[in-house]
Amino acid sequence: MAERLKARGLLGEMAAEFAGTMILILFGVGVVAQVAAAGIGDHDSIAWAWGLGVTLGVYVAARISGAHLNPAVTVALAVFKGFSWRKVLPYSLAQTAGAFVAALLVRWNYAEVLAKADPGHTIKTQGVFSTLPGNGTLPVGTWGAFRDQVIGTAILLFLILAVSDVRNSPPAANLAPFVVGLVVVAIGMAWGTNAGYAINPARDFGPRLASFLTGYGTAWRDQYGQLYFWVPIVA
């Protein structure tokens, strides 16, 4: 009975991670589709929508699962905060699945404008769903993007741990999700050049897979033709 209750509890936590990450990606990938395909908005609107997506996703999942929404966060909490290692893979799979489903919804909803902006579904609009070195246009290579992702993800995780540490001065009145959202906005505004600030393996891989299955044949590669999908995962 105890094992059954434990399994049911884990399923609930996975459902929360799925839903929270789905909300994050609906806003994040959605805003990039709007800017890239329809020309509505700019870099600032992208940064703010990603940050608000994080905030809303955390509010969705926090009570049930802790709202990691990111395999890098899950691993960091297992390493530094005693989070159960047996939950790391289930959480990561749920996060990736939520990102995948959200990206499919964005792809479906923006199908017409994406086809108008990029009939061949090429590298031109691939960045709507997944990141590229130098955002597909600037002179940044694989290892420059790798370096950038290590630094950006480290900044994110350091600040999440600082904000959530009760021995520190954590935000009061359930404002931590809002502060974490602001952290993502700041990273987007300061660290978005070299690799599009994925800073989240599920955020990149789930939408990348969705784009590949819906017509983006170059989804696994960068603008140089090099396999790139592994960089946001490993770094």
- Domains of the chain listed by start with CATH number: 1-233 (1.20.1080.10)
Average pLDDT over residues 64-78: 96
So what's the pLDDT on residue 197? 95
- pLDDT interval class at 3 (50, 70, 90): low
Q: What are the pLDDT digits (tens) for 86-136?
A: 999 999 999 999 999 999 999 999 999 999 999 999 999 999 999 999 999
Q: What are the pLDDT digits (tens) for 43-62?
A: 999 999 999 999 999 999 99
Phi/psi zone of residue 28: left (φ > 0), alpha (ψ -120 to 50 degrees), beta?
alpha
**pTM, full prediction:** 0.94
So what's the pLDDT on residue 6? 66
So what's the pLDDT on residue 8? 74
- pLDDT interval class at 185 (50, 70, 90): very high
Q: Is the pLDDT of residue 220 over 60?
A: yes
Q: Is the pLDDT of residue 38 over 70?
A: yes
Average pLDDT over residues 156-172: 85
| Per-chain mean pLDDT for the chain | 94
- Choice among 34-43, 148-157, 162-171 with the minimum mean pLDDT: 162-171
| Cβ-contact 224, 134 below 8 angstroms | no
